[in-house]
A and B are shown apart, each in its own frame.
Chain A
Amino acid sequence: MKTILICDDDVHIRGLVKGLLSKEGFKILAADNGAAAFELLQKELCDLAIVDVMMPIMDGYHLTSKIRKLYDIPVILLTAKSQIEDKEKGFESGTDDYLIKPFEPKELIFRVNALLRRYGNSNEANVNLGSLYINKKSYEVKIKNKTFILPLKEFELLSFLAAHPNRVFTRSHLIEKLWGLEYEGDDRTVDVHIKRLRERFSDIADDFSIKTIRGVGYSLEVENA
């Protein structure tokens, strides 16, 4: 179980983040100022810290730079300060991400997961296929000089197919692999995502295409690279 440290002087925000992330299966540690958070970090192993900027005793910038010096964990600054100067100050102190209040609860979960993935020691290799380059940590697709950020499932589908070029996968195999066993939708979902991927890349990339193998499933084919 991953442990997340939340540090905010607002008791309601602490409660909110705790509620949201506990549901996602994280263990939560909470502190109401930078100094207390730092003490907690020394006692317990944390995988990620969510830090508010305006706090008594030790503010968020200070705490972030201290964490940056001593621990190799990602930090998200959670703040209501949206001026670019504040943002720059945040990144200068070494934060990995910056989330502005009021935030969507789902966005917080999305960013937490993205950072844990980036810091996690996943040994998934990046995919390099002709002009197509897929970075699995940053979830970015690059073709020539252009960068594409795809919706999560489309990205996973593309990178899965691209990791096994010219191999044919059935719809149910893809569902099981990417959506999980407990997914209750039908096979059509795969068709919809494939259709979108084709639409998005048909004009852009000419050295790969997703082929429909009638009666079987899909395959990403590389055209004489």
Chain B
Amino acid sequence: MIMKSLYSKFAFITIMIMIVSGIVSFFISNVYYQVKLKQQNDEKITNFALEMAGFASNHPSISLQDYFGHIGVIGYQILLINQEGEKTYFGSSFRQTNLPEGVQERVMNGEVYHGIRQFPHKTFVTGFFANELTNSIGVPFQYQNKKYALFIRPDIKLLFNEMHILFGWILLLSILLSIFLVLISTKYLIEPIRKLNMATKEISEGNFSIRLDIERKDELGHLAANFTKMSEKLAKVDMLRKELISNISHDIQSPLANIKGYLNLLENNDKQDPDKQQYIRIMHSEADRLSKMTKQLLLLSSVESKRDLMNVSKVDISGQLKSVIHQYQWSILEKGIMISYELPDAWVKGDASLLYSLWENLLTNAIKYNHQNGTIDIEILETVSDIQVVFKDTGIGLDEKQIERVFDRFYRADASRERSVEGTGLGLSIINSIIDLHHGKIEVNSQKGKGSAFKVSLPKL
């Protein structure tokens, strides 16, 4: 049997403990009976037998038949043997009526037979209940000058029948009840662990706002309380991280905005000096590069850290695309590009801010690598299993070799250095990571000089 859950292990072990302790305690009490109680029992019954035999020999006027018949009814099993060897039984019968060799003669000759004391040891049999003639006391006596041998043992069945049943029920019920209660109590004991387990899973999926309804004062209760505290701390850390990213970008981008803005004013004020104009343009593009680099590095770090901590929800792809288009409308029109789009409602499951960055990167690529006065077309298509977003541009395009290598990690790492003049080179690696995180895929269709189409497929809701 393979036991996967703590619950079944715990229940199994408890029940095993009950069984083993039952066997061991039976064994120990059996030894106690054999060593001590059997002796006492033997003495007690020998006394009864001697008493009966004495009474019979002292009252020759009483009929033996009547006397022993009477005692038999009260609760003894009796065998009476006379000089001639005739056997008469009184009371309920023995299950086995053979005596060991020579016992009958020895008792007849005046010895006392201690059958109970001598009854053989067996590991699982006490001998107390063995309804055998061997397990009896034999005493000699004289009656009307004749020798008799008297064998008796208490009729356990008659005397203790109700007790027997009572103890039987107690034993059976206590076994059944304890198994039942073990199953229930184990469930109760294990339940908080199960809840904690679920909560841990939630946290690992990035949901920190968990509530554990475990109200206990024991170690598990403490664990649950500490666990809740921990998840609150984690939530705080997560929030601080997000705030930090947002603030870093604020603190870097604001001064850059000023630098760019004032450079622009400077450029317009001093159009005569071509050298100065050239320097200003360089400063301009460097400020741009710094700004983009900061944004993308922050994004890349959040993509990396999100590998296990995505903030998954239902995302309105069409709305996101429209807002991305709106955001970049100026850079598109500035380059004389016409953008066309057909965006029917489409929803996928994913991280809203990562997906937004994905569209941003795809669109800025389409603008960056487009010709002056080109066209960009964005479409949402729906297949049986996927939502597809296609970005088509009329840009410089890629040849077959470039397409092969454009998603090659090594090539990308290399290209980022080559391309550093134009972009950060992080765009494609961001695009790829985000699509990976969403179990999607990207296909490139391109012709050198004519343009490229990037098709992103994301699994449907």
Q: Which residues of A contact B (CB under 8 A)?
A: 10, 12-13, 16-17, 19-20, 54, 79-87, 97-98, 100-107, 110-111, 145-152, 154, 196, 200, 204
CA distance A30 to B333 in the complex (A): 30
Q: Which parts of B221-253 form the interface with A (CB within 8 Å)?
A: 242, 245-246, 249-253
Task: Decide yes or no: A80 and B258 within 8 Å by CB, A85-B242, A148-B339 being known contacts.
Answer: no
CA distance A13 to B250 in the complex (A): 13
CA distance A149 to B336 in the complex (A): 10
B40 within 8 A of A: no
A112 to chain B, nearest CB (A): 11
Q: Which 10 A-B pairs have the closest CB atoms?
A: A80-B253, A101-B257, A102-B257, A16-B261, A80-B250, A84-B353, A107-B330, A102-B256, A12-B258, A84-B356
Counting chain A CB atoms within 10 Å of each CB, which of B254, B264, B325, B353 scores highest? B254
Contact A101 B256 (CB under 8 A): yes
Contact B257 A80 (CB under 8 A): yes
CA distance A10 to B373 in the complex (A): 37
Task: Decide yes or no: A147 and B261 within 8 Å by CB, A85-B353, A111-B330 being known contacts.
Answer: no
Contact A16 B342 (CB under 8 A): no
Given contacts A80-B250, A82-B249, 4 further A-B contacts (CB under 8 A): A19-B265, A102-B291, A106-B330, A147-B341
A16 to chain B, nearest CB (A): 4
CA distance A147 to B343 in the complex (A): 9
Contact A81 B249 (CB under 8 A): yes
Range class of the B interface residue count: 35 or more
Q: Which residues of B contact A (CB under 8 A)?
A: 242, 245-246, 249-254, 256-262, 264-265, 287-288, 291, 295, 323, 325-327, 329-334, 336-344, 352-353, 356-357, 373, 375
A-B contact pairs, 16 of them (CB 8 A): A13-B258, A17-B261, A54-B250, A79-B250, A80-B249, A80-B251, A84-B356, A85-B242, A102-B253, A102-B259, A107-B334, A110-B333, A111-B330, A146-B340, A149-B338, A151-B336
Number of A-B contacts (CB under 8 A): 116
CA distance A156 to B329 in the complex (A): 16
Q: Which of B252, B260, B353 contacts A83 (CB 8 A)?
A: B353
Q: Which residues of A contact B264 (CB under 8 A)?
A: 20, 105
Q: Which residues of A contact B339 (CB under 8 A)?
A: 148-149
Q: Which residues of A contact B334 (CB under 8 A)?
A: 104, 106-107
A199 to chain B, nearest CB (A): 9
Contact B338 A110 (CB under 8 A): no
Contact B338 A16 (CB under 8 A): no
Contact B256 A82 (CB under 8 A): no
Q: Which of A20, A104, A147 contacts B330 (CB 8 A)?
A: A104
Task: Decide yes or no: A149 and B325 within 8 Å by CB, A101-B256, A102-B291, A110-B330 being known contacts.
Answer: yes
Contact A82 B338 (CB under 8 A): no
- Name the prevailing secondary structure of the B interface residues: helix
CA distance A154 to B333 in the complex (A): 10
B330 to chain A, nearest CB (A): 4
Closest to B248 in A: A80
Q: Which residues of B contact A79 (CB under 8 A)?
A: 250
Q: Which of B253, B258, B295, B352 contacts A84 (CB 8 A)?
A: B352
Q: Which residues of B contact A102 (CB under 8 A)?
A: 253, 256-257, 259-261, 287-288, 291
Q: Which residues of B contact A84 (CB under 8 A)?
A: 352-353, 356-357
Q: Which residues of B contact A19 (CB under 8 A)?
A: 265
Q: Which residues of A contact B323 (CB under 8 A)?
A: 87
Contact B253 A146 (CB under 8 A): no
Contact A200 B375 (CB under 8 A): yes
CA distance A87 to B327 in the complex (A): 11
Closest to A23 in B: B268
Closest to B265 in A: A19
Contact A149 B329 (CB under 8 A): yes
B341 to chain A, nearest CB (A): 5
Task: Decide yes or no: A81 and B353 within 8 Å by CB, A98-B327, A146-B340 being known contacts.
Answer: no
CA distance A65 to B331 in the complex (A): 28
Contact A148 B254 (CB under 8 A): no
Counting chain A CB atoms within 10 Å of each CB, which of B246, B261, B264, B323 scores highest? B261
A46 to chain B, nearest CB (A): 22
Task: Decide yes or no: A80 and B352 within 8 Å by CB, A20-B261, A149-B325, A149-B333 being known contacts.
Answer: no
Contact A100 B329 (CB under 8 A): no
Contact B245 A83 (CB under 8 A): yes
CA distance A32 to B405 in the complex (A): 51
Contact A147 B342 (CB under 8 A): yes
Contact B291 A12 (CB under 8 A): no
Contact B257 A13 (CB under 8 A): yes
Contact B333 A147 (CB under 8 A): no
A209 to chain B, nearest CB (A): 17
Contact A149 B257 (CB under 8 A): no
Counting chain B CB atoms within 10 Å of each CB, which of A10, A101, A145, A151 scores highest? A101
Task: Decide yes or no: A12 and B338 within 8 Å by CB, A80-B250, A86-B246 being known contacts.
Answer: no
Closest to B356 in A: A84
CA distance A103 to B257 in the complex (A): 6
Q: Which residues of B contact A149 (CB under 8 A)?
A: 325, 329, 332-333, 338-340
Q: Which residues of B contact A100 (CB under 8 A)?
A: 253, 327
Contact B336 A10 (CB under 8 A): no
Contact A81 B246 (CB under 8 A): yes
CA distance A145 to B379 in the complex (A): 11
Task: Decide yes or no: A151 and B337 within 8 Å by CB, A80-B253, A82-B249, A200-B375 being known contacts.
Answer: yes
Contact A80 B254 (CB under 8 A): yes
CA distance A111 to B242 in the complex (A): 29
CA distance A29 to B349 in the complex (A): 45
CA distance A80 to B250 in the complex (A): 4
Counting chain A CB atoms within 10 Å of each CB, which of B250, B265, B337 scores highest? B250
Q: Which residues of B contact A101 (CB under 8 A)?
A: 253-254, 256-257
B231 to chain A, nearest CB (A): 21
